[in-house]
Amino acid sequence: MFDRNPTNSSLIAGAAEWHAEGHGVALAFVIQTWGSSPRPVGSVMIIRDDMLVEGSVSGGCVESAVIESGSDAITTGGGKRLDFGVADETAWEVGLSCGGRIAVLVSPVGSGGITPQTLASMASDLRARRPVTLCLNAASGMLEPPSSSLMPEASYLDEASDLFYLVQPPARRLVIVGGVHISQFLAPMAKLAGYDVTIIDPRAVFTAAARFPDIECVTDWPDEAMRTLGLDARTAIVTLTHDPKIDDPGLHAALSSDAFYVACLGSRRTHAARCARLQEAGIGVDEVNRLHGPAGLNIGALTPAEIAVSILAEMIAAERMPGEMSG
């Protein structure tokens, strides 16, 4: 069910599935941090009644205390806030010895925390790539109505009202056009970095399950597949086939979307010809200038694995530092 680096979206979906199977479930959220903290506000861990755990709220033994609290929440039906920091005698054990502090809110699935209906609705919305917002009492973990009609843009703790807002956008997604050698490295790397990955290639032989285990593959033409997928601002697109008959339809769809990163493999000469071809087909200069080409940061990459690293690095930079990255 879970990848090695599960996203919040997959954790919420997993918690809903566990509960639907009849398990007791609790969720833990990082609600506040100070100084050096290994996990940001909004990080999620899920705990099951048989002590199966997924996700993380810290880089150390905070997890042990959170898991124990999660188990208690499942048993008692009530949640609680946990605070850890350098003032604790266990600071070295909890991995916060560099000066950090962290607050974690534990909430059971049930009437004393997050209702099963709310959890199921969140999972459904995230699967449909709709953002969700959850409002919880920051002391008890109980579901609460928002204190304002203005929803926050990111997860945060409103100390004035003692409410924690989890703001969860859809999972980041990478759409790769071409089931080529580079894709065999880029796809698993991107999954480890927390992206949902889809490979599109109308040539079925290139998307055989043996080539891409645990990766979603689609054998439609790229423009058709992208219409079905729905491209949004949390989506990155990379074309890798070197074949204009396959790459260009995907680029037409990608450049008319809100995708945060669109890139193409090929030399500078190939890229110049591609840009001219796209403009001749009616795509505007501003849209064409969004293209990153050749794809990837210039790290002197030679092998397929190195090229995949350079593409993933550029993609992350385009998301994290959009003002500094351009096509």
Phi, psi torsion values for 51, nearest 5 degrees? 70, 20
Domain C-terminal end among 143, 168, 193: 168
- Residue 2 in domain: no
Q: Given a cut of 80, is residue 325 above it in pLDDT?
A: no
What the block records as the tokens of 302 is: 């030679």
Tell me, yes or no, whether 19 and 154 share the same domain.
yes
Task: Report the number of distinct structural domains present in the chain.
Answer: 2
**Mean pLDDT score across all residues of the chain:** 90
Tell me, yes or no, whether 192 and 318 share the same domain.
yes
- Residue 249 in domain: yes
Which pLDDT score is estimated for 2?
A: 64
pLDDT over 90 percentage in the chain: 80
Q: What share of the chain is helix, strand, coil (3-state, %, to 5)?
A: 35, 25, 45
Tell me the pLDDT tens digit for each residue of 249-286: 999 999 999 999 999 998 899 999 999 999 999 999 99
Cα–Cα distance for residue pair 233/259, rounded to 1 Å: 5
Tell me, yes or no, whether 190 and 44 share the same domain.
no
Q: Given a cut of 70, is residue 326 above it in pLDDT?
A: no
Q: How many helices (H) and strands (E) does the chain have?
A: 9, 14
Tell me the pLDDT tens digit for each residue of 17-45: 999 999 999 999 999 988 766 788 999 99
Alpha carbon 168 to chain centroid distance? 9
Domain C-terminal end among 168, 187, 204: 168
pLDDT band at 93 (very low <50, low <70, confident <90, very high): low
- pTM: predicted TM-score of the whole model, two decimal places: 0.86
Q: Given a cut of 70, is residue 98 above it in pLDDT?
A: no
Tell me the CATH number at 206. 3.40.50.720
Q: What are the distances in angstroms from CA 33 to CA 53, 82, 250? A: 22, 12, 42
Q: Which burial class, exposed, middle or buried, applies to 293 when counting CB atoms under 10 A from its CB (0-12, 13-18, 19+)?
A: buried
